[in-house]
Structure 1
């Protein structure tokens, strides 16, 4: 892995540079039309395209952030190791980054994190620390590990909204708009909003007429509330979709979301489960809750644009999610 010690900002030029780094490690993911989904939505053939990010290593688009992060770590970060918090996919991304860079990672995960994602983090060689009932409590503990260890060997905290992570996530949309430059809309699931920020930045450069529409669970609406008010809001995160279980807005992503999103939808967890069943039956795809949220958003939209993409961001379905699919 080539190491590039350089701090970056959120520009399209930086996304292109990140794309070159990510492409050396990861292949482009498929963008595929599924006739059964077209029929269901009432679109012409090829009107609904699914970006299959779940086929990447770690089963999620977030590994893109890890690959880019690994190339951008400083010597001090590689020497001290990394610490972060996550309910799962960001955790695996940072663990993947640490393995690429040859350093150690400690990941704090709350009680709500699915076991399949805990196992994935451990399999990548990171240390898993269980702490707290929610992501906010896990984040506070992770920061304390970085801040209170003391000395030059203290691990470096990697936030989910680190610019290096966001730029890596944005490469999914760089690929998307290169694969389909004529999209009318893109539906993007939102947890912290890093993926949606990337979608908006790339859209502005390559397809300014395309609408970017965010989708969040109504059982974890903190970022949606923040988007509406313009201030950082908090809200309970009781959603079954662990990848969407954020309990507060994020200062690093909120300005970009407010400037770039044309709409922001809330869907219920039952609607997310329904979309996951449709992805399984109509698109041969096993999606976790966050990975099915974009399709749930499309199905909840009355005025559906002509040619749309939905992003299946992850396939790390928990045992409970798989059981709910089978029970229908």
Structure 2
């Protein structure tokens, strides 16, 4: 298990946020930064912006995880609520950044975000040099991209397998078809996996580096969250539980192999937790 749920913001995203904002020019820092997020990416930008004294605005869609939204505000960023889902929030941010001059931070098409996430892969291989398979959740794809780059560079024999919800399969479809695919549906409760469109840079990296890409159901994710609590006493959010859901589906294929699950985050609302417990 790679317990990214114990990071300062409760998710792996902080790695990329710090790496990116640390590398902004003085002119970019003066302009301030803006991004769209369902929660964890926004927290990472807010946390890093506070660390480096940069003004930050985060646009979240209606119905976003309220705990994550409050955390973004506590970290000092201005929160704007706009759009029915992540992609509508993102489109609004892109227009706002163009109009008002902010340095727009895309949630996935950013090399420094991906490089920051790549340190997860470095740490996995440092701690378990004989790892054979790494299962990683995929939403926008920055985490899976970074981990897969590190794994391929250090040991090309390692299989990195992406995991996404079948109720929001844009990244999976983009990977499978070799082009950016937009879907007209996104019904997963796993907000960290919830995008309606794939992104260019992660798509190129994942097409090159992933050994496979698996879709799991939201019900499988809920069961994985519950099992994680029972077996490890760790609270992981839906996206973070997706690798365990995939491992259970692939158990015969993975039997006898050294497998690492990337538990990408642990920011779960009380309501979501109650829903998961109600399935037990």
The answer for the alignment partner of 1:210 in structure 2 is: 158
| 1:96-153 C-alpha deviation (Å, 9 max, x unpaired) | 111011011000000142101101100100000000001110001111111112xxxx
Structure 1 CA distance for aligned equivalents of residues 63 and 265 of structure 2: 17
Give the alignment partner of residue 316 of structure 1, picking from 267, 271, 274. Answer: 267
| TM-aligned CA deviation for residue 231 of structure 1 | 1.1
- The residue aligned with 1:180 is 128
- Corresponding residue number in structure 2 for 1:191: 139
Question: Does the aligned pair in 2 maintain the 1:182–1:207 contact within 8 Å?
Answer: no
Check 1:298–1:182 CA distance in 2 against 1; reply closer, same or farther (3 A cut).
Answer: same
Secondary structure, in 3 states, of the residue corresponding to 2:213?
strand
Candidates 273, 277, 281, aligned match of 2:226: 277
**Match of 2:253?**
303
Q: 2:19 maps to what in 1?
A: 68
Separation in 1, partners of 2:271, 2:72: 19
State the alpha-carbon separation in 2 of the partners of residues 158 and 323 from structure 1. 33
Structure 1 residue runs of 5 or longer lacking an equivalent are 1-49
Match of residue 119 from structure 2: 171
Rounded to whole Å, the distance in 1 between the matches of 2:63 and 2:193 is 12
- The counterpart of 1:291, out of the listed 212, 233, 240, is 240
- Please tell me the root mean square deviation across aligned C-alpha atoms, in Å: 1.0
SS at match of 2:126: helix
Gaps of 5+ in 2: none
Q: Normalization by structure 1: what TM-score?
A: 0.82
Matches of 1:255 and 1:326, distance apart in 2: 38
How far does residue 76 in structure 1 lie from its aligned partner after superposition?
1.1
Displacement of 1:205 in angstroms is 1.6
Deviation, structure 1 residue 199: 1.5
Q: Deviations over 1:238-293 (max 9, x none)?
A: 10000000110111111111111111000000100100001100011000000101
1:263 aligns with 2:212: yes
Is 1:87–1:112's contact at 8 Å kept on the other side of the alignment? no
3-state SS of paired residue (1:303): helix
| Matches of 1:253 and 1:107, distance apart in 2 | 22
When the two structures are superposed, what TM-score results if normalisation uses the length of structure 2?
0.96
Equivalent residue for 2:103, pick from 156, 178, 184: 156
Contact 1:70 1:100 in 2 (8 A): no
Q: CA deviation at 1:195?
A: 1.0
CA distance in 1, matches of 2:88, 2:118: 27
Displacement of 1:318 in angstroms is 1.6
1:99 paired residue number: 50
Render the CA deviation track for 1:162-214: whole Å, top value 9, x for unaligned. 11111111111111111111011000000011111112111112122111000
SS in 1 for 2:9: helix
Deviations 1:25-67 (A, max 9, x none): xxxxxxxxxxxxxxxxxxxxxxxxx110110111000000111
Partners of 1:325 and 1:245 lie apart in 2 by 18
User: Following the alignment from structure 2 to structure 1, what is the Cα–Cα distance between the partners of residues 260 and 150?
Assistant: 14
Partner of 1:43 in structure 2? none
Deviation at 1:326, TM superposition (A): 2.4
Larger radius of gyration: 1
